[in-house]
Chain A
Amino acid sequence: MLYLQLLIDGVVSGCAIGIVSISFSYFYATTGIFHVAHAGIYTLSGYLAWWMVGLGTPFAAALALAILAAVVVGYLTQRLLYRPLEESGATPLVLMIASIGLLTVLQNVVAILFSPNIVQFDLPWRLSHTAIGPIALSLPQAILGVLSLLLFAGLVLFSHHTAAGKRIRAVASNRELAEITRLDPKRVFAQVLAISSGIVAVPGVLVGVDQALQPYTSLLVLLTAVVAMIAGGIGSLTGAFGMSIVLAVIQSLSVAVMPGRWSVAAVFGTFILFILLRPEGLIRSRFSRAI
């Protein structure tokens, strides 16, 4: 029964990582920018919601406002940082170093404005459990799981069945062609980063409710998500989401055979095996971005 519980816990945290993974992947596959600062937006939205709940805002409103704030920050990041850099002919390395700079800024702004210590949401319902047979599921876990699946399905539908989603995929697959057919890649990039940032705010807040908030841990979440993205095949949202769940389950189950503190090593060990054996990912990507 312990294994079943670990499995379920793994699936739920895999859903959260999966959302981080698809939102990162969505921007990365479109622009090729390694947006490390995504982790900073994750942290920022969690703390914003925590701060608003502390002021007495109802949780749903706090979540919505945190998402809105993330959308704004994401949009501004593209407009004020990545776009000027790309216009000045910066290499991917320079873009990524700038992104690391932004991550550092966001994390420390959070640490200074709110708290450098671990904080927990002051919500009585976060500890209530529902038992399904022998498995215990906390309320935040249940909300997280359901919202993650909805977001995943929503993003896939948006990407394939709406005009805006198709425009984004067109820009992703051929930027030059998009430029001459007046799809305006620069505007599309800002939209994509706004969407991605809004999506990543959801696990940013809900994982914080379920566990706790800490300014500097989000990078590990992002890296696990990126590992899942690469293993799932870049550009494949389903691959990224599925691999996130697989990775999180491995991480969760590994607690049964070795001390939990070594689980980081387990994830990255799995990853290194993966790149050695199957560099193109589990599901071969249709995107031919050089990686």
Chain B
Amino acid sequence: MTTGEPGTRRSVAPAVVALIVLAGVALWLFWPRAAAGPVTLHGGTAGHRVELTVHRPRTGAGPVTVRVTDVHGRPAGLRKVTVEPVMQSMGHAAPAAQAAGTGPGSYRAESVSLFMRGYWEFTVVLQGATGADRVVFPLLITG
């Protein structure tokens, strides 16, 4: 009989613990998960540098922040900033959200509606003194 030997139990125990830890690490690594926190994307054109933050990158309505500078890094003065969410492959367009100015070069739209999971595109339209400039930010919404 070997089951009752304390030495054998001690030998097996570390191996079992190691296996459990390994399995836990593997589960944590490979468990599918949606982006939980805000996502910030950087883009630009010949005239503007644009930073788009989607605060709740999940289905439903959530706020979006846009920070715009000129090519020298100075906050851009714009007449109007609009965020237009679209799903190109589905042929869906969500209502455009006008972003209100919250500071120099900073704009925020409180409710941008994403009605389903999939490949979205946020077109940020910058209306300035010289006309409109557009920057497109593709984003995958998984949750």
Decide whether A and B are members of one complex. no
